[in-house]
Structure 1
């Protein structure tokens, strides 16, 4: 159903005259008549009749009017839901259980009046493209992989220097070490969580392997 035609119908009802409705909508009276006629044709009923006093609702018009007003309100809400400054702040995180998601929870507690829409996209390229296209407002991702360049209009800023934890069994040589360097891990078999082909974690681990002499298999 054409929203413009519905809006024109409601304008005629509110103004009481086709000509006055045309002035309110900044169109010609002929355009108003065509829109109303097209709506009536689509619905298969007569909505308005003209008489000496102006435009008058038919029985079908009276039945349709509240639904027409509801449709216009729904259309306004739909537009507002995606209008910058009106819709929720849409942010992508790599995982809802990771520390980055904790940053958003902290933000929400500090700014309860800001509505958040948290999404989880598959990989860094998808997330960056979503920022570029306006599908999301921001993404928390690792974008420092070698050769990775952000597209024009997208900027990155560091927000979290996340520590990496090494978990070992009690008999491992590093079981009691308070801290180790990545180079010390060379030659040890390590399980790297999130090492899924096509994600930024794979690029991150590949870069680490190249820098510190790891073998990723």
Structure 2
């Protein structure tokens, strides 16, 4: 069964002045006084966390299966209840205010407590919480396939667009399963979290129709040294940036990166505005007719590992993990992986 991540298990969770030791770090004394006795609507709190993680109202609304208007109303009501602005708004892009940054960890705790309370009352009711990284990537296609093939697997999905963020949620107990590339995360891999390689997703080059290379059957280092590669992010998600920079360095081609990443549609719109650019895209992503997807040589792959905590007692977790065993084809003579990922693949093959 395929469930949205916006379900709210408890209607309200009440804070009173006796809980000041819990919320005292939320804000200054003036705001702490306001929080006392306020009924916090979990649907509003869930909306806040979604916007805080996406920093974009459109993506947060899509994640929660809401209209942007409905999402904005929930945020406004929460801000009214707290007596403080939680976001600075710039059209659809947003930033957390200092109050929002202080509220975020407690908001996540509220949702985790609410989910735990619901699970305690109905131990068979809670679905697996699975982060599939993004809307066009392999993990989402995989989970859709599992939803069709195994209706007894009940799960809800989130899209944090970074294994680093998902890993933190996994450690806090907010997620049961995540997918991603476990390298270039800028941190040590946690000892209490397991991972297993399950798939290699091929990466191709995208150009607009009419680009000088649009009719090329394949792009190699020779062509890319002239055009370079462009992508719409600079430092985050670090695991994807690390892979793409390693590939560009392997080919000896220049890179241009811009900071604003608002999703695939925005990337394609930017490509149309700058028709000389060549950008990495998933070779199997659905594309509009005016975008030409050209194979790269050697073919770079985005590795996907499933990530979980072995001490997680959820009864559906072993069944999900057992369904994720995949055959992976990789030819070192024509395909490419960074060294760390190649080591993962060799370990997978040996096992």
Partner of 1:38: none
Does the residue aligned with 1:159 lie in a helix, a strand or coil? strand
Q: Larger % of helix: which?
A: 1
1:212 aligns with 2:246: no
State the match for 1:111 in structure 2: 150
Structure 1 distance, partners of 2:115, 2:253, is 56
Deviation, 1:174, is: 3.8
Change (3 A) 1:81 1:104: farther
Q: TM-score, normalization: structure 2?
A: 0.34
Structure-1 separation of matches of 2:236 and 2:204: 23
Aligned equivalent of 2:44? none
Number of the residue aligned with 1:145: 184
Which of the two has higher C-alpha Rg? 1
Partner of 1:11: none
Residues 32-47 of structure 1 mapped to structure 2, 5 A cutoff: none
Aligned-residue Cα RMSD (Å) equals 3.3
Structure 2's unaligned 5+ residue stretches are 1-113, 257-351
| Residues in 1 aligned to 2:246 and 2:141: alpha-carbon distance in whole angstroms | 26
For CA contacts below 8 A with separation 6 or more, give which structure has more relative contact order.
2
Q: 1:187 to 1:77 in 2, by over 3 A?
A: same
Per the normalisation by structure 1, the TM-score is 0.53
Distance in 2 (alpha carbons) for counterparts of 1:96 and 1:112: 21
Compare the two structures and name the one with the higher strand fraction.
2
Matched, 1:154 2:193: yes
Q: Quote the residue 1:179 is aligned against.
A: 218
- Count of aligned pairs: 142
Alignment equivalent of 2:164, drawn from 93, 110, 125: 125
User: Contact conserved, 1:145 with 1:207, CA < 8 A, in 2?
Assistant: no
Residues 189/210 of structure 1: CA separation in 2 closer, same or farther (3 Å cut): closer
Contact 2:130–2:175 under 8 Å retained in 1:
yes
Q: After the TM superposition, list the runs of 4 or more consecutive aligned residues in structure 1 that deviate by more than 6 angstroms.
A: 74-77
Name the residue aligned to 1:189.
228
Match of 1:20 in 2: none
CA distance in 1, matches of 2:197, 2:116: 37
Distance, in Å, in 1 between the alignment partners of 2:117 and 2:145 is 29
Match of 1:198?
236
* C-alpha contact 1:81 1:88 (8 A) present in aligned 2: no
2: CA distance, partners of 1:173 / 1:130: 44
Residue 205 of structure 1 deviates from its aligned partner by: 2.1
Deviation at 1:114, TM superposition (A): 1.4
- 2: distance between equivalents of 1:75 and 1:203? 35
